[in-house]
Structure 1
Amino acid sequence: MLPKTGKSLPQRQADITFAELVSAALTEEVGETHRGVKTLMRWTGASERCVKHWLAGTHAPSGSHLLALMRHSDELLRHLLIAAGRREATVGLELASLRLKLRELLLLMDEGGAPPIRH
């Protein structure tokens, strides 16, 4: 037990709370607009007040809300994997994202909507 001397323990600058980590990821994914709030509410079933606390970084989502967010937000999943020291696991996320973008591009090209590539 630490003695009560009135001094607080120093914190490293790199330390970030879980709520701040969630806030950074969700803000990057959906922004802080009312539309972003509504999107997060739809994903999780959480109240508007809860979602605004998450975006502000003052509160973290509960376990069930966190799982729902991770189902929809690649950005949150990526942030959590990196924070857990599992950066190598993010490669799978990138690959899935690239595959989806490639599929969309191929569909666009098949429809004749993409301009020709010029070198």
Structure 2
Amino acid sequence: MSLPKRGRKIQSVSGNSRPYGATDLGSAEFAREIAEALHKDFGGTHAAIKRVVALTNANERAVKNWFSAKNGPTGRHLVDLVRTSDEVLEAVLRLSGRSDLILAKKLGDSKQTLIKMLNLIGELQG
């Protein structure tokens, strides 16, 4: 016995809810934001492309397309980029309407830097 056609669709219980500040995101805007983040973090040279290829294990042509904003990374490659690039992480958070997490990340990074500086001062004072 098969399910009726209308019984096959699974609908969200909560509807189409998005975090505050999230907007409809087009693929061109996504690609442009990721390309900008890649350029900030890695530069725009061929060596930068090679470095991203090594980090993500993606095809070189695909990475060139990311850098030129022709398209953006998906799935595993996006996760690899977020893991290694603070700029890409911030771009993804900003695009998803989670700018509050960017501030929290920067605060945590600043705290770690301050702890390192205080430890260094302590070592220098002997």
* Identical aligned residues as a percent: 34
For residues 18-44 of structure 1, the C-alpha deviation after alignment (integer angstroms, 9 at most, x for no partner) is: 111110111111111122112211210
Instruction: Identify the residue that residue 47 of structure 2 maps to in structure 1.
Output: 35
CA distance in 2, matches of 1:110, 1:41: 41
User: Does structure 1 residue 69 correspond to structure 2 residue 74?
Assistant: no
TM-score normalised to structure 2 length: 0.66
Which residue of 1 is the match for residue 96 of structure 2?
84
Structure 1 counterpart of 2:11: none
Matched letter for residue 85 of structure 2: S
Question: How many residue pairs were aligned?
Answer: 98
Unaligned runs of 5+ in 1: 1-14, 113-119
2:105 pairs with 1:93: yes
How much has 1:98 moved relative to structure 2?
A: 1.6
TM-score, normalisation: structure 1: 0.69
> Which structure 2 residue ranges, 5 or more long, are not aligned?
1-25
Which stretches of structure 1, 4 residues or more, deviate above 4 A after TM superposition? 106-112
CA RMSD in angstroms, aligned pairs only: 2.1
Code of the residue aligned with 1:46 in structure 2: it is A
Give, in whole Å, the separation in 2 of the partners of 1:37 and 1:111. Answer: 40
